[in-house]
Amino acid sequence: MEWIYAAPLELGGGRYLRLILQAKRARYNDRAGGYWYYQHLDHGSPPGSQAQTLIGHAASVPGTLPLYVFYHATSATAPATGRLPAIEGVNLVFADLVAPVVSAKCQRKDKKVSRWRASFMPLSTILCWPVTVTPPQLPAPSDITRLVIGGAETPFPLLNYGFHPDVVARRLNERRDQNVDRKADSPMFVMPVDSERREQDVDAKADGPTLAVPVDQIPDNIQRAINGEMTAEDRRALTRPRVIFTTRLTRNDPDYPIIEKLSR
């Protein structure tokens, strides 16, 4: 699945960030006292090749960040404890943390939920965003959508949704910083991100963490989807389920600093 955050009103043909999500479901093993694990975490032939393909594809497409989505049954969930995040029904993990582990003779202990818990992010990291309200323009333009209740026209405010690609990217990159010091039941490799490097070196390197970096110029096929003008060819070209979040917000909007602050 892919989630796309787009700001079509930005200069330079709009701006966007694409997240590619690879799903894995936790299963329960009743041996050795019982534990939850991701049976197919190292999927592929050779083992782990799926993760490498995910990383490679994301690196080849500007503005793309790969993530793993871990699904857990209710009986596997657990509240946050100490410095460890909660195990929720859905958790996210940066894919570049998973890839080197599953490609290096991945063992059963490397597939345990507890092995990855230190790097968990909640689904709200990419789903829940603040909204600011812009008062309706009066008099309203003739071509604006109007809300009529009981025969009377009602002013309809414009909503500036917080899922601007730069706001999303900043939150994701900061979340990576926040889990650097966490420790799971077994050692967990977590790649820190230097804040100065994030600002100065936006190109993810092969030997460093993959950063969320939005890009300009929304592709034509995505722009057509935003406009509700997808063609039959566009639909045939879809290789995975896709969700597009759009916002009227731009980096020059007075609401942008408010949204950015509330999103942290």
Ranges of each domain in the chain: 2-262
Average pLDDT (92-114) is 91
37, pLDDT greater than 90: yes
What is the average pLDDT score of the chain? 84
How far apart, in whole angstroms, are the C-alpha atoms of residue 253 and residue 78?
40
- The upper half-sphere exposure of residue 229, i.e. CA atoms within 13 Å in the direction of its Cβ, equals 6
The model's pTM is 0.81
pLDDT tens digits, one per residue of 156-178? 566 777 889 999 999 999 998 77
pLDDT band at 203 (very low <50, low <70, confident <90, very high): very low
How far apart, in whole angstroms, are the C-alpha atoms of residue 257 and residue 263?
10
How far apart, in whole angstroms, are the C-alpha atoms of residue 101 and residue 80?
24
pLDDT at res. 144: 57
pLDDT at res. 162: 85
Rounded to the nearest 10 degrees, the angle between the axes of helix 95-102 and helix 49-60 is 140
Residue 99 class from Cβ within 10 Å (0-12 exposed, 13-18 middle, 19+ buried)?
buried
- Among 1-15, 153-167, 247-261, top mean pLDDT goes to 1-15
Backbone dihedral region for residue 33 (phi beyond 0: left; psi -120 to 50: alpha; all else: beta): left
pLDDT band at 151 (very low <50, low <70, confident <90, very high): confident
